[in-house]
Structure 1
Amino acid sequence: MPDFGSDQLEDFRQEARAWLAANFPPTLKGSGGQALEGGGEVGGDLAAWRRAIGQKGWATPTWPPEYGGGGLSGPQARVLAQEMAKAGAFNPLMFGMGITMIGPTILDYGTEAQKQKHLPPIVRGEVQWCVGYSEPNAGSDLASLQTRAVDAGDHWVINGQKTWTSGAQYSDWCGCLVRTDPSAKKHDGISFLLIDMHQPGIETRPIALIAGASPFCETFFTDAVAPKEALLGQINVGWTVGKRLLQHERASQTGAPGGGRTVPLPEIAKRYCGVDAKGRLEDQDLRTRLVRHQMDARAHGLTLARAMAEAKEANGATNAASVLKNSATHVAQTRAELTLEIFGHQGLGWSGEAFSGEEIESVRGWLFGKAMSIYGGSAEIQNNIISKRILGLPDTTQSS
């Protein structure tokens, strides 16, 4: 594998730059993919961009080419990310669960038939996936889930309810944890099924959120069906598969580079708060807290780069994702809080001509960002993982 500064990498950089110039629509520059966050159908330049990067395989740059991936090395993928950031481009498939969670888990545990069936459509952005994990009585204690899959000979029959199933109302498929052996210990009787969402036995109901958007759903299974080959991994060993998916999810929520827009906070602060004769922010306390935030963000980025290298050596996501998930949450929520403070009374807007689009978007983003401490495993759950699996502290939650 070539070094980062090698001639081969420089050649690839030029190739990536030229391809982006020819295929990334200028109308989407710097949008950060906001048009995708509502889910549903896309069209115009966004659809063209998704189709182009999917066909190239660069939405999943390091996935094997036999499944539609780019087949790039780690250094090449980093170069691609750098060039996308310079071009103001973004990965239009990073906002779904196909390439961030389900696809990597199928790569880990899927049969060859499952990989050939599911991975190429994910790479091309032709299907959308959701994940059926949490239930009304099985949130942080996920292993208490009661959605049941019964063996009906040549297929499974699924009954139960999931909640917080992000994007379920738009999804074609669901990666779902189900109970297949009610008599086993709660961690031992769980299996992982790949369920077609386009059937009468499945109903989704969006859950309204304080931020105005509704990415989450309640999902009801009433005699829904899945063929026997929908089982991912071994029967009653789905807890292992499910934990692996969560590692991939947390890794995707750690702030990996991929383009988008992020105006530096000091620039915003100078616009709204004014500067002194030396061009510095007049508010010394705000200046100090902005520097501290920038240091936290930089430390997070450096730790992320190290963890990505370690994960490559370990052939997948590691428990370090729990550290980075909490770190990314802290950095993002702190930025949101500082942004609204900088805006002053302009940080109170929800709609109307008195507020700019940037101000309204920041307010809604601040509200939605509160969920970061919860989704993908709450901050408390991540701290438990860190204490037991990284620090080696004793597990005080289990009875002797």
Structure 2
Amino acid sequence: MKIGFSPEDEAFRQEIATWLEANLKDEFAALRFRGGPGDEHAFPEERKAWERRLAEGGWTCVGWAPEHGGRGLSISQQVIFHEEYARAGGPGRMGHIGEGLAGPTIAAFGSEAQRRRFLPGIVAGRDFWCQGYSEPGAGSDLANIKTRAWQDPDTGKWILQGQKVWTSLAHESDWCFVIARTDPQSRGREGLSFLLVPMDQPGITVRPIPQLTATSEFNEVFFDEAETDADALLGAPGDGWRIAMALLGFERGVSTLGQQMQFRNELETLIGLARDKGCDRDPLIRQRLARAWGGLKIMRYNALRMLSGPQDGSLKPEAMIYKLDWSSWHVELGKLAMDILGDEAEILEAAPYELGRLQSLFLFSRADTIYGGTSEIQRNIIAERALGLPREPRPA
């Protein structure tokens, strides 16, 4: 991936920047810089309406192939889109899991009938998705899944029984992609299947998980003989692990550049605050700000290098360091925010005593090194898959 952009790319940058300026106002003005990590509870209905506005402008699924409803933009233009979106203060995407994870996976592994059924609702900003991976006892150890699924011999429908946890925005979602054990005799990675399950049905219960930030974008999801259609199985029975791993590859896609722009917005806020409070003359604070700036630049260049490979869900070695890199960086940024705030870090201004933006950043970033794969597991992945070192001893 080249670091610079062509004149055509820069013209495209102006196009998306102009569109965002014209549309992030009036009823959507309050959404600027809202709805990101730690703030995902904010304005859910308004952000769903924003997804539909994006769709009307042709700004959803911009990297998808045209035959799947996307714009087929080049990698460089996708990078520009996500950077300009974050620069303009575009709100956290309610459609991110559908657009970035479910959709590419369905496009890659689904039948033509499944693509026709599921992809248009994502492109239109109409159908919202959540991810049914982690379970109690099967978080980072995803192969330990206990949720079961079997086919009803009379109707052919898949029946699900079990529990998922840490399911982001499950209470706002229409569909969930679920990894379930369809071979009751199997263990580990074998015998797992990938199912597409409607959320609005009597067999599904969603319970919020209160967090340090007093919000509840994460949930527990209980499947009590929930159903999905016979043709809502992606791939073949037993293909679940392979498809699940490919999906995690899509997760490290172009939207990571947008995430970095959000980080840059946070860092610029801290730099401005440090100047206002006179902390910029403190040599330790200056060092930490400079280290954060340098770390973010390295993160960007590594992401561009990561994106220069195939966009099929496979992970190049450099992609395996991304989660560990950004989560560790962000945790340190949260600590720096509290040190710059000083005594104000422990004070809420007035009723209703909601956390400030930087306070939420600090508290929510505590989870960054846990969700999406703990740092310990990420180091094992780097050691074993990227460096080819011997596997860590597993319990018998």
Q: Name the amino acid aligned to 2:296.
A: A
Query: Which sits farther off after the overlay, 380-389 or 359-368?
Result: 359-368
- Check 1:90–1:70 CA distance in 2 against 1; reply closer, same or farther (3 A cut): farther
Query: Which sits farther off after the overlay, 163-172 or 316-325?
Result: 316-325
Equivalent residues of 1:85, 1:259 under 8 A apart: yes
> Hey, what's the Cα distance between the residues in 1 that align with 2:368 and 2:300?
18
Match of 2:330 in 1: 332
Match of 1:194 in 2: 196
Deviation at 1:229, TM superposition (A): 0.6
> Hey, what's the Cα distance between the residues in 1 that align with 2:231 and 2:159?
13
> Hey, what's the Cα distance between the residues in 2 that align with 1:299 and 1:321?
13
Superimposed CA distance per residue, residues 101-152 of structure 1 (whole angstroms, 9 cap, x where no aligned partner) = 2112112211111112111211222111111111122222221211111121
Superimposed CA distance per residue, residues 63-121 of structure 1 (whole angstroms, 9 cap, x where no aligned partner) = 112322122112222333454455x1426536641112211211221111111211121
Equivalent residues of 2:128, 2:172 under 8 A apart: yes
Aligned-partner SS, 2:309:
helix
Aligned partner of 1:368 among 336, 348, 364: 364
Aligned partner of 2:320 among 319, 322, 337: 322
Deviation at 1:60, TM superposition (A): 1.8
Q: CA RMSD in A?
A: 3.0
- Check 1:133–1:61 CA distance in 2 against 1; reply closer, same or farther (3 A cut): same
So what's the TM-score if we normalise by structure 1? 0.87
Aligned partner of 1:382 among 373, 378, 388: 378
So what's the TM-score if we normalise by structure 2? 0.88
Deviation at 1:223, TM superposition (A): 1.2
> Hey, what's the Cα distance between the residues in 2 that align with 1:204 and 1:4?
46
Equivalent residues of 1:103, 1:122 under 8 A apart: yes
Aligned-partner SS, 1:240:
helix
Deviation at 1:192, TM superposition (A): 0.7
Aligned-partner SS, 1:373:
coil
- Check 1:399–1:160 CA distance in 2 against 1; reply closer, same or farther (3 A cut): closer
The answer on 1:267 being equivalent to 2:263 is no
The answer on 1:184 being equivalent to 2:186 is yes
Equivalent residues of 2:162, 2:224 under 8 A apart: yes
Deviation at 1:311, TM superposition (A): 4.3
Match of 2:346 in 1: 348
Alignment of 1:265-304 (within 5 A): 265-274=270-279, 281-304=280-303
> Hey, what's the Cα distance between the residues in 2 that align with 1:304 and 1:232?
29
The unaligned stretches of length 5 or more in structure 1 are: 275-280
How many aligned positions are there?
A: 388
Superimposed CA distance per residue, residues 312-338 of structure 1 (whole angstroms, 9 cap, x where no aligned partner) = 4x7755453331111111221111110
The unaligned stretches of length 5 or more in structure 2 are: none
Query: Which sits farther off after the overlay, 46-55 or 185-194?
Result: 46-55
Deviation at 1:345, TM superposition (A): 0.3
Aligned-partner SS, 2:281:
coil
Equivalent residues of 2:78, 2:254 under 8 A apart: no
> Hey, what's the Cα distance between the residues in 1 that align with 2:278 and 2:31?
25
Match of 1:135 in 2: 135
- Check 1:371–1:3 CA distance in 2 against 1; reply closer, same or farther (3 A cut): closer
> Hey, what's the Cα distance between the residues in 1 that align with 2:52 and 2:252?
27
Match of 1:277 in 2: none
